[in-house]
A and B are shown apart, each in its own frame.
Chain A
């Protein structure tokens, strides 16, 4: 018999199976009943985590840097006689410095000016942090990180009139005459009320006592306008009334 005229049992079975396939809609019906969960690959699942981590690093890390650098150490040697060093901190550091340092105002007859500095506050490691406040009108140069700049008299835009009334100040003798003289050169016109002209005792508009290294013939209670010339000499001009109301 010709082999082409023969068929096997397996072939009969396969042909039968081909003729009786499962209905087409059965497949779709089963898939529609299957619970649907959005399938995402592993890298897609990890993507939000990576993005959050990057954001945290980008936001938190730079914010931590100024806080750490705010406490830039300043050794006692840095407070030399030739110059005062002032930290120009970032805005964050400035804000924190407003409450941190103790303010001292030195009124020295020798220098004849009001000199304000901030007493340094020792940190835990024994280093010194020095800051300035914007309330005194000191020039705060914007900087990404605190830097040390010499606080020359020209830059210390501080005078007694600008001292806030509510500030807690204490008088501490200033031994650094050179620094005070330099500071005095910057002093501008002061409006003062004479307390004792012979001893150079005055009061400013805030009622704070000031001592200048001058002798005047003004009577007590008289308002004067004081101005220091370049040579360090004080020039006074009597006023008819108190200018403080202005």
Chain B
């Protein structure tokens, strides 16, 4: 490859990157589906890889999270037509696929535990979406991490998805549960955090 072609390639990639950054996830995926454009795939990974990895890490461990994250992306890389734009948003589809892969792997490793105790109570208040603040102290972050680990899987995943910006409807799609069930799990999760961490304000 000559120097000129390398420069042309660099310039092409650079202009592609700036162009693709303006596209939505779904548009990027169409670009990748139709033209196998690596720049489009790269931007998709940049946008969502960290969030997906963190979600999987919170539900498992670093090693498993990395493997499942890679496997999830590879499903998209090898078969981009798996994602149907008319069914869900790309991000929702990505987290759903990752969650299913993780649960399958946990089951295979006999690490799957499902504590179903959150659907028993029903409340009409909005505490599933309340804004919580905590008193800052040096180990608040560690306490938060510990609280997540102690939290049941269902509540943990609902809280992580909510904090990552998913709507109640999206969480219901990802977890394949009713929205009321998700609300209940979120209430329990937040209640647990209030007990564990020092709450200074709640609305």
Contact = CB atoms under 8 A, between A and B. Distances in A.
Contacts of A30: 41, 45, 70, 73-74, 77
A33 interface: yes
B70 A29 contact: yes
Query: In which size bucket is the chain A interface?
Result: 20 to 34
Interface string A36-75: 1101010000000000000000000000000000000000
Contact of B136 (A6, A19, A21): A6
Interface stretch (B22-30, B50-58, B112-120, B173-181): B50-58
Contact of B51 (A4, A17, A36, A37): A17
A12 B46 contact: no
B163 A9 contact: yes
A6 B132 contact: no
A86 B145 CA distance: 104
Contacts, number: 103
B57 A20 contact: yes
Interface string B111-143: 000000000000000000001111110001100
A5 B38 contact: no
Interface string A144-165: 0000000000000000000000
B109 to A, nearest CB: 21
A231 interface: no
A10 interface: yes
Contacts of B132: 8-9
B144 interface: yes
B59 interface: no
6 contacts: A1-B200, A7-B136, A12-B134, A12-B140, A13-B160, A20-B62
A143 interface: no
Interface of A: 1, 4-10, 12-13, 15-17, 19-23, 26-27, 29-31, 33-37, 39, 41
A27 B69 contact: no
B193 interface: yes
Contacts of A13: 160, 163-164
B92 interface: no
Contacts of B10: none
A7 B62 CA distance: 26
B193 A31 contact: no
A183 B156 CA distance: 114
Contacts of B46: 27
B96 interface: no
B195 to A, nearest CB: 14
Given A26-B70, A34-B36, 12 more contacts: A1-B135, A5-B136, A10-B163, A12-B144, A13-B160, A15-B141, A20-B54, A21-B54, A26-B69, A30-B41, A30-B73, A31-B41
Contact of B140 (A7, A21, A37): A7
Contacts of B150: none
